[in-house]
Amino acid sequence: VPSEVTKVGLVGLGVVGTGVARLLLEDADLLTSRVGRPIELAHIVDIDLTRDRGLSIPDGLLTDDLDRLMNDASTTILVETVGGTTFAKDLVLRALCSGKDVVTANKALLAKHGKEIFGVARQHGRCVSFEASCGGGIPLIGPLCRGLLANRISAVYGILNGTCNYILTEMLGTGKAYADAVSEAMEAGFAEDPPDLDVGGYDTAHKLAIIASLAFGMSVDYDRITIEGITKLDLTDLKAGEELGYVCKLLAIGRRDDGRLSLRVHPAFIAAHHPLANTWGPFNAVSVYGHAVGHTLYYGRGAGQTPTASAVVSDVIDIAIGNAGRTFATLRIYPDVTESPTYQPIEEIVGRYYVRLMAHDRPGVMAQMTRVFGEHGISLSAIMQHEMPEEATDNAVPVVVLTHEAQEGDVQGALAELSQLDALTAEPVCIRVVEEHEEF
Amino acid sequence: VPSEVTKVGLVGLGVVGTGVARLLLEDADLLTSRVGRPIELAHIVDIDLTRDRGLSIPDGLLTDDLDRLMNDASTTILVETVGGTTFAKDLVLRALCSGKDVVTANKALLAKHGKEIFGVARQHGRCVSFEASCGGGIPLIGPLCRGLLANRISAVYGILNGTCNYILTEMLGTGKAYADAVSEAMEAGFAEDPPDLDVGGYDTAHKLAIIASLAFGMSVDYDRITIEGITKLDLTDLKAGEELGYVCKLLAIGRRDDGRLSLRVHPAFIAAHHPLANTWGPFNAVSVYGHAVGHTLYYGRGAGQTPTASAVVSDVIDIAIGNAGRTFATLRIYPDVTESPTYQPIEEIVGRYYVRLMAHDRPGVMAQMTRVFGEHGISLSAIMQHEMPEEATDNAVPVVVLTHEAQEGDVQGALAELSQLDALTAEPVCIRVVEEHEEF
């Protein structure tokens, strides 16, 4: 029995778009046999008609005429792999208004304009699928919208940027300085040039906004996410953390405590035995804690041509068989229909802190420094001072302090005061320690 | 707008059933608000009407009269949490024939009778959902049926039995002997008494049959799975493996090589840095390798009341909103509509092997042993012989050998010959080494 064909239009033939085209063209038979109906790539739209993408594209498929796709009512799914938040936004809204469902891998777009885009989709009886927007090929949006639906989720902790994780892995693994690891990542194609969106933590924050919206069933405001990148990390601290049993990762953290959301992206020390700590190189992983399921974790390649395309094509299938539309229309978890959260101010979060102070090696300095912590109500669980390194030129030794649980506001106050001390030869370095989240 | 109620009947109020009842009763408002329609637990059927399950059950809900549920046509979903393969099978078939969709956590049932059950469901236009059958609360069936659907999956490697993983973790962590770790696991409630279904590898094999069917899109025969449990594992070997950079886990392995399936459950050494190796205690984890997505991994609690119930309730929701039925009716990946695989005989699998020989410490013995390996075409990559332990009473020292890649048949031949040597004081111990699977 021949079934109805589902026709797909793809806009943007970059890295991810090429991967999507590759899977839809080269694996057409596989998909048809599994889905029980053909999925046909009917249009590929890009402004560059000549660049070699290492892919054999049938004649007449690639065009720079977006209208050809938009005016083809028989093409019911538009895949947006353009990126950015201006043209892509217009494109997605136009597609929805003209009756097409949309698949997008665009985290920046959804983090900033998700609420509006979902609202327009709902108005027009269409849906937006975005499995590829977070964690590349890892099925992550799927579990949040399906497998974990019986849970009140209390926290998500994610390594969501492969570039940062690659850089941190290289630093720790080969003893490279941050700047060298970044340069190498750019050469290896694991980082864009400039790498700011990744290393600054913004890409991770985009993904956190999307994940937190679904996990907590709240309309999350991207601008309320506290963001710190990895640009100030020093190999010294990664090594010191390792000695203490921690691995440093750029973490996206979303927590619900007493009804308030805390959303932040920053480098964090996590216990070496936690599965997140054992996520190396360009891999991503996300821990999700639910009141019924406890701790679950999802791991895989967070970027790359075919991994991301794998997620896009799974969304296409989900739309083709009618499930995505029904999920979107039915479940009340998308940010256009959920409420805004109350946010916990960053000053009020509680945790342990790693602090490194570069101090002159002279009498009384240790007392001065520890006094400042005490005056801010912070008690210390460990202090490490090694011998002065031979290469030290400024007569300064690193003193590493690990606090007991303390409030962020108090720690920031202590750091501000510490940085005024004459005995310090550099700004204090502070990395938050993230303890294993309670499961039930 | 009040939406139609979905009515659910639950059969079997044991550990998992009680968890399901708890979530449906205590979190009814949460579920209604998310799903956009009420999900009502309309019947609970169990033969034991009096036992205290630590759950407040509304009057009239619990009954020992199965017919009351079966004859209630307005109850459209039956949740089977009875376990076993006899009564449960009749129950599921009867429910399907009387027009009810079925949710089950019963891996033994699906491993042995899945093909028949899915066929009956299809005949009657119903569906069977079974997220809870593998990996407890971990969304795993979901990704296989949705998020990974664009992939040709080449391999799955899973830690699928929390009891075994708890025992192995205890042995390695606290230096307990196998027998002590098993006793302790039974006392702690992590193992059944007797523990044979778990420690013998059968429970893991049930789950492998289900996962492999979906992952490879094949109608897998449970009886073709090679099964070895953890009952013969010795702490000596776990420790020796650790020295070599490996962690020993009971692995479910499904691989497709050159169009043939290899399905097996056995203890295996995996590299300590692999995320599967960092799965401790009662946790489960499954690695899935797809041609587009590469390596993905799913981690969480593989058993327990609320984790398993979390998966059951997610299935109930999926049926309630109509997606599960459509998925089942549409996708051609269920064993009643897929082909039987060609199996790779276990003798033909290729890998590296850890072998421990207890040998008399006298001249010529090492040459004797290594000659046997050589005559079977097996080359050795490492040999370790420590000093004789002080407590040794039989003048025997452990010699640990790590082979290069070899064929299982050759290794078994060598082991059979080795066990005939006078110089050996005990049967050789052999543990397969599982290397990191190639991603693309």
Task: State yes or no: pLDDT of A1 exceeds 50.
Answer: no
In one letter, which amino acid is B227? I
**How buried is residue A165: exposed, middle or buried, by Cβ count under 10 Å (0-12/13-18/19+)?**
buried
Q: For residue range A123-162, what is the model confidence (pLDDT) as tens digits?
A: 999 999 999 999 999 999 999 999 999 999 999 999 999 9
Residue with the two structure tokens 């694991």: A190
Query: What is the structure's pLDDT at A141?
Result: 98
Q: For residue range B181-229, what is the model confidence (pLDDT) as tens digits?
A: 999 999 988 888 899 999 999 999 999 999 999 999 999 999 999 999 9
Helix (H) or strand (E) holding A153: strand A153-159
Q: For residue range B372-412, what is the model confidence (pLDDT) as tens digits?
A: 999 999 999 999 887 766 666 677 889 999 999 999 999 99
Q: Which chain B residues contact residue A146 at CB under 8 A?
A: 139, 142, 146, 314, 317-318, 323
In degrees and rounded to multiples of 5, residue B284 shows phi and psi of -115, 160
Q: Which chain A residues contact residue B311 at CB under 8 A?
A: 147, 293
DSSP A424: B
Contact, B249 vs B277, CB < 8 A? Answer: yes
Query: What is the structure's pLDDT at B2?
Result: 46
A423: distance to nearest CA of chain B, Å? 41
Nearest chain A alpha carbon to B29: A150
Contact, A432 vs A353, CB < 8 A? Answer: yes
Given an 8 Å threshold on Cβ–Cβ distance, is B147 in contact with A151? no
Query: What is the structure's pLDDT at B3?
Result: 61
Token output for A407:
């409030």
Q: For residue range B47-72, what is the model confidence (pLDDT) as tens digits?
A: 999 999 999 999 999 999 999 999 99
Beta-carbon contacts of residue B380 (< 8 Å; ≥ 6 apart) = B370, B373, B401, B402, B403, B404
Query: What is the structure's pLDDT at B202?
Result: 98
Q: For residue range A334-344, what is the model confidence (pLDDT) as tens digits?
A: 999 999 999 99
Q: For residue range A65-121, what is the model confidence (pLDDT) as tens digits?
A: 999 999 999 999 999 999 999 999 999 999 999 999 999 999 999 999 999 999 999
List strand residue ranges (DSSP E) for B69-175, in order: 75-80, 101-104, 128-129, 153-159
Q: Cα dihedral angle (A41, A46, A49, A50), rounded to 10 degrees?
A: -100
**How buried is residue B223: exposed, middle or buried, by Cβ count under 10 Å (0-12/13-18/19+)?**
exposed
A292: distance to nearest CA of chain B, Å? 5
- Does the bond joining A194 to the residue before it have cis omega, within 30 degrees of 0? yes
Neighbours of B437 (CB within 10 A): 17
Catalytic entry in B176, B207, B239, B249: B207
Averaged pLDDT of chain B? 95
Token output for B161:
């039995």
Query: What is the structure's pLDDT at A396?
Result: 87
Query: What is the structure's pLDDT at A362?
Result: 86
Distance CA(B357)–CA(B399), nearest Å, equals: 5
Query: What is the structure's pLDDT at B330?
Result: 96
Task: State yes or no: pLDDT of A393 exceeds 80.
Answer: no
Query: What is the structure's pLDDT at A281?
Result: 94
**DSSP letter string, B159-204:** E--HHHHHHHHHHHHH---HHHHHHHHHHTTSS-SS-HHHHTSHHH
Which residues partner with B290 through β-bridges? B153, B294
**DSSP letter string, A250-270:** EEEEEEEETTEEEEEEEEEEE
Task: State yes or no: pLDDT of A434 exceeds 60.
Answer: yes
Residue with the two structure tokens 């008690």: A379
Region A244-263 average pLDDT: 97
Of B238, B291, B336, B312, the closest CA to residue B437 belongs to B291
Task: State yes or no: pLDDT of B35 exceeds 80.
Answer: yes
Region A294-320 average pLDDT: 97
In one letter, which amino acid is B387? E
Q: Which chain A residues contact residue B129 at CB under 8 A?
A: none
Token output for A50:
């000549």
Task: State yes or no: pLDDT of B143 exceeds 80.
Answer: yes
Distance CA(A247)–CA(B394), nearest Å, equals: 45
Given an 8 Å threshold on Cβ–Cβ distance, is B292 in contact with A307? yes
202-221 in B: which are within 8 Å (CB) of A?
A: 217
Residues of A labelled as active-site residues: 207
Nearest chain B alpha carbon to A27: B150
Query: What is the structure's pLDDT at A3?
Result: 61
Contact, A197 vs A240, CB < 8 A? Answer: no
Q: Which chain A residues contact residue B332 at CB under 8 A?
A: 33-36
Q: Is B17 left (phi over 0), alpha (psi -120 to 50) or beta?
A: alpha
Contact, A207 vs A112, CB < 8 A? Answer: no
Residue with the two structure tokens 């109020």: B13
Region A195-200 average pLDDT: 95
Cα separation of the two ends of chain A: 50
Given an 8 Å threshold on Cβ–Cβ distance, is A327 in contact with B314? no
In degrees and rounded to multiples of 5, residue A264 shows phi and psi of -155, 155
B436 vs A: CB within 8 A:
no
B207 is catalytic: yes
A185 or A122, higher pLDDT: A122
B279 vs A: CB within 8 A:
yes
Closest CB to A297 among B142, B152, B300: B300
Task: State yes or no: pLDDT of A270 exceeds 60.
Answer: yes
Q: Where are the alpha helices (DSSP H) in A229-364?
A: 235-243, 305-320, 323-330
Q: Which chain A residues contact residue B139 at CB under 8 A?
A: 139, 142-143, 146-148, 296
Angle, helices A15-26 vs A28-35, to 10°: value is 70
DSSP B422: T
Contact, B332 vs A36, CB < 8 A? Answer: yes
Token output for A314:
């799974």
3-class DSSP state of A235? helix
Q: For residue range B243-294, what is the model confidence (pLDDT) as tens digits?
A: 999 999 999 999 999 999 999 999 999 999 899 999 999 999 999 999 999 9
**How buried is residue B198: exposed, middle or buried, by Cβ count under 10 Å (0-12/13-18/19+)?**
buried
Task: State yes or no: pLDDT of A193 exceeds 60.
Answer: yes
Distance CA(B338)–CA(B354), nearest Å, equals: 37
**How buried is residue B361: exposed, middle or buried, by Cβ count under 10 Å (0-12/13-18/19+)?**
middle
Mutate to test the interface with A, among B15, B35, B146 (most CBs of A within 10 A): B146
Radius of gyration of chain B (CA): 24
Residue A428 to residues A45, A353, B114, B176, B330: CA-CA distances in angstroms? 51, 12, 61, 45, 60
Distance CA(A132)–CA(A130), nearest Å, equals: 5
Cα separation of the two ends of chain B: 50
Q: For residue range A16-61, what is the model confidence (pLDDT) as tens digits?
A: 999 999 999 999 999 999 999 999 999 999 999 999 999 999 999 9
**DSSP letter string, A108-139:** HHHHHHHHHHHHHHHHTT--EE-GGGSSTTS-
Task: State yes or no: pLDDT of A2 exceeds 80.
Answer: no
